[in-house]
Amino acid sequence: MRNIDAQTITPAFLQRIAGCGDPRLKQVLGALVTHLHDFAREVQLTEAEWMAGIEFLTTTGQKCSGTRQEFILLSDVLGLSMLLVAQHHDKPAGCTEATVFGPFHTDDAPHLPDGADLRGGAPGTPLDVAIEVRSLDGRALADAEVDVWEADADGFYDVQHADLDHRRARGVLRTDAEGRARFTALLPTPYPVPTDGPVGQVLVACGRHPWRPAHLHFLIRAAGHETLVTHIFREGSDYLDSDVVFGVRSSLVAEMPEVAPGRHQLRQTFVLNPVMAGATP
Amino acid sequence: MRNIDAQTITPAFLQRIAGCGDPRLKQVLGALVTHLHDFAREVQLTEAEWMAGIEFLTTTGQKCSGTRQEFILLSDVLGLSMLLVAQHHDKPAGCTEATVFGPFHTDDAPHLPDGADLRGGAPGTPLDVAIEVRSLDGRALADAEVDVWEADADGFYDVQHADLDHRRARGVLRTDAEGRARFTALLPTPYPVPTDGPVGQVLVACGRHPWRPAHLHFLIRAAGHETLVTHIFREGSDYLDSDVVFGVRSSLVAEMPEVAPGRHQLRQTFVLNPVMAGATP
């Protein structure tokens, strides 16, 4: 295997992994590298562009931290995240649709009692939220875990405030016997994804805006059901038709009316997809 | 642009960058994302695999430092680097062929006088090297910059020794009026690319060996000529037919005979490609 040229490199690579003991890895890596090579040939990628790519990937990796995942942001703005969501969450009609996970979930959100105020001092207009979690057949799902997170009125998640020493505008609740949970959150507002990193630079270079329409994130787990990762978007928000991460689904857009001066309300039912016995939840 | 599915995401992305003011960026990014989406659909990439990919890229970025470029190593072992070399260095017959740059070049190698010993205390058998740098028409190229680097007999470049406070087994020389330069280096030996990082884990998972055949790196710059990035491989070395980075070209394999007990020799002529007036060197 000497004197490999721009064409023979691809079969040479595939031959090199022919002995891989993991058939799925062989399939995925073989397809990935074939597409990578095809891409480089198709656009006649230059070495300067390749080096720019190496530097971009390096900077992106080094921008990641315990509270920031720049590669997930990259996947989001390139549409890969939404592609995967669409590919794997083709649920029965009647189930709540999924959308992208995003880079700002944390595993250490405070566990809060029903009725809690999860704002924790974050700036914004209060939003009284009342949700119901149900199975596809309509029965209430008690003791479901409801993980909520959102940006504040300044457009930042708590983890984006370097000087903040506690979590806020996020929390984990449990549904009651009727599948309900209530909490006070923030009326969501549109915000830009972070543009101070390499992914933001790509958006600028492409002439793309970095904005997401107003939304709250939900991650809902209930026994015997597929975990739901989704948002609820605010009806009337800017950017509903040009979400930078391609995540808007019409069924996830909800009214959040002002029910008292300076106080808004959201009522939302989530319908989870039951997992058949023996399947992986 | 709502309710995007696993197919419509690709045209949606292309539409989103339609206004990009840089036509080349639009072309490259459009092709890259199209291939990325095609890949994800073709293998029905799962979300767990996607997350493994996010973590792999993150770890790879965070493994990079001033003296280690794990993404270049990744490009090398996936054959992308050699593809680009082959794609862009289709030089006239008679010119020395190029091969991969590799991740271990540094910009701070010592500048050494003709006849210098560049080993700097690195372990290994001495190799007396005498090179000539010529243009395609045969004329000697005086004052060409010859940047040489290699691994030591333990299989490590200087930058891989965390406790080493100086550069060794690398150096920059200039050719004399006859286009010649002489120096003492190390007889190269095969060595594995670093396997203590994420790229090494992929090699292991694929059942691939991490070895490169014995070689010295050369980067040669001469006025009016295309810069040459290449290796000279040692004839008879193991792994000449299974170089982990696909870099071996028959024309770059040279004898390095033992000319005195424990002392080897390499004589090598490099022929550089003249750049036409007005072209970018």
- Listed in sequence order, the residues at least 6 apart from A112 whose beta carbon sits closer than 8 Å to its beta carbon are A118, A171, A172, A173, A183
Q: Which 81-110 residues of chain A touch chain B by CB within 8 A?
A: 81-84, 86-88
CB contact under 8 A, B64 and A62: yes
CA distance A9 to B77: 11
What average pLDDT score do residues A197-226 get?
A: 96
Burial of A275 (C-beta count, 10 Å sphere; 0-12/13-18/19+): middle
Please give the structure tokens belonging to residue A68: 């920031």
For A103-157, give the DSSP string: S---TTPPB--TT-B--TT--S-EEEEEEEEEETTS-B-TT-EEEEE---TTS--
Q: Are strands B228-234 and A180-186 parallel, antiparallel or unpaired?
A: unpaired
Q: Any residues with CB less than 8 A from the CB of A65 and at least 6 apart, and which?
A: none
pLDDT at B277: 56
What pLDDT does residue A277 have? 56
Cβ separation A83–B37 shorter than 8 A: yes
List Cβ neighbours of A156 (8 Å cut-off, separation of 6 or more).
Answer: A191
Which H or E run includes A49? Answer: helix A47-63
Q: Where are the domains of chain A?
A: 1-45, 70-272
d(CA B226, CA B97) in angstroms, rounded, equals 12
CATH architecture designation of domain A70-272: Sandwich (2.60)
What's residue B281's pLDDT?
Answer: 44
Question: And the tokens for B91?
Answer: 């030089």
Alpha-carbon gap, residue A38 to A26, rounded angstroms: 18
- Please give the residue of chain B at the shortest CA–CA distance from A103: B54
CB contact under 8 A, A205 and B36: no
User: Cβ contact (<8 Å) for A13 and B79?
Assistant: yes
Please tell me the number of Cα atoms within 13 Å of A43 on its side-chain side.
23
Are the beta carbons of A58 and B38 separated by less than 8 Å?
no
Q: Do B35 and A36 touch (CB under 8 A)?
A: yes
CA of A178 vs chain B CAs: smallest distance (Å): 31
Q: Specify the pLDDT at position A90.
A: 77
What's the rounded Cα separation, in Å, for the pair A76 and B50? Answer: 12
Rounded Cα–Cα distance for residues A36 and A31 (Å): 9
Do B121 and B161 touch, CB atoms closer than 8 A?
no
CB contact under 8 A, A206 and B248: no
Q: What is the tens place of the pLDDT at every residue in A3-20? A: 999 999 999 999 999 999
User: Cα(B159)–Cα(B124) distance, rounded to whole angstroms?
Assistant: 17
Among the partner-chain residues A4, A58, A207, the one whose CB lies closest to the CB of B61 is A58
CA distances for B9 relative to A14, A92, A128, A213, B41, angstroms: 29, 21, 34, 18, 11
- The alpha carbon of residue B172 is apart from the nearest alpha carbon of chain A, in Å, by 23
Instruction: Tell me how far apart the alpha carbons of residues A153 and A122 are, in angstroms, rounded to a whole number.
Output: 8
In whole angstroms, give the CA distance from residue B184 to residue B122.
12
What pLDDT, in 10s, does the model give residues A146-163? 999 999 999 999 998 888
Phi, psi of A10 (to 5 degrees): -70, -55
Which chain A residues contact residue B31 at CB under 8 A?
39, 42-43
> How would residue A281 be classed by pLDDT, with cut points 50, 70 and 90?
very low
Asked if B32 lies within 8 A of A25 by C-beta distance, the reply is no
Which of A259, A217, A265, A262 has the alpha carbon at shortest distance from A103?
A217
List the single residue in A with minimal CA-CA distance to B68: A58
Suggest the residue from B29, B42, B87 to mutate for an interface test with chain A (most A CBs closer than 10 A). Answer: B87
Q: What is the pLDDT of residues A20-47, one digit of tens each?
A: 999 999 999 999 999 999 999 999 999 9
* A75 in contact with B, Cβ within 8 Å: yes
Count of CB atoms within 10 A of residue A99's CB? 28
Residue B11 neighbours by CB distance under 10 Å: 12
Q: Which residues of chain B have pLDDT under 50?
A: 280-281
Measured from the Cβ of residue B12, the count of other Cβ atoms closer than 10 Å reads: 17
Inter-chain CB proximity A205 and B26 less than 8 Å: no
What confidence score (pLDDT) does residue A162 get? 83
CB contact under 8 A, B4 and A64: no
Tell if the CB–CB gap between B21 and A207 is shorter than 8 Å. Answer: yes
Q: Which of residues 217-256 of B touch A (CB under 8 A)?
A: 240-243, 246, 248-250
Give the minimum alpha-carbon distance from A165 to chain B in angstroms, rounded to a whole number.
25
Which of A 147-206 lie inside 8 A of B, CB atoms? 202, 205-206
Please write the tens of the pLDDT for every residue from A63-115. 999 878 999 999 999 999 999 999 987 789 999 999 999 888 999 999 999 99
Look up the pTM and report it: 0.90
Q: A104-128: b or e for each residue (b if 16 or more CB lie within 10 Å)? A: bbeeebeebeeebebbbebebebbb
Q: Which of B25, B88, B240 sits opposite A47 (nearest CB)?
A: B88
Rounded Cα distance between A124 and A152, Å, is 6
Q: Does any CB of chain A come closer than 8 Å to the CB of residue B259?
A: no
- The pLDDT tens digits of the residues spanning B3-52 come to 999 999 999 999 999 999 999 999 999 999 999 999 999 999 999 999 99
Distance between CA atoms of B142 and B216, rounded to whole angstroms?
22
Residue B207 has its nearest CB partner, among A21, A45, A81, at A21
Chain B contacts of A54, Cβ < 8 Å?
69, 71-72, 75
**Using CB atoms and an 8 Å cut-off, which of residues 9-38 of chain A contact chain B?**
9-10, 12-13, 16-17, 19-22, 25-29, 31-33, 35-38
- DSSP bridge pairs for B232: B216
Alpha carbon A74 to its chain's center: 11
- Which residues of B fall within a CB distance of 8 Å from A22? 205
Check A26 against B206: CB less than 8 A apart. Answer: yes
Q: What does each C-alpha distance from B273 to A65, A215, B147, B226, B234 come to in angstroms? A: 46, 58, 17, 5, 24
Q: Are B9 and A45 in contact (CB < 8 Å)?
A: no
- Secondary structure (H, E, C), B52-83: HHHHHHHHHHHHCECCECHHHHHHHHCCHHHH
Q: What's at B187, amino acid-wise?
A: L
Backbone dihedral region for residue A224 (phi beyond 0: left; psi -120 to 50: alpha; all else: beta): left
- Please report the DSSP string for B221-240 in residue order: E-TTB--EEEEEEETT-TTT
Taking CB atoms and an 8 Å cutoff, what residues of chain A touch B206? Answer: 16-17, 20, 25-26, 29
Q: What's the full length of chain A, in residues?
A: 281
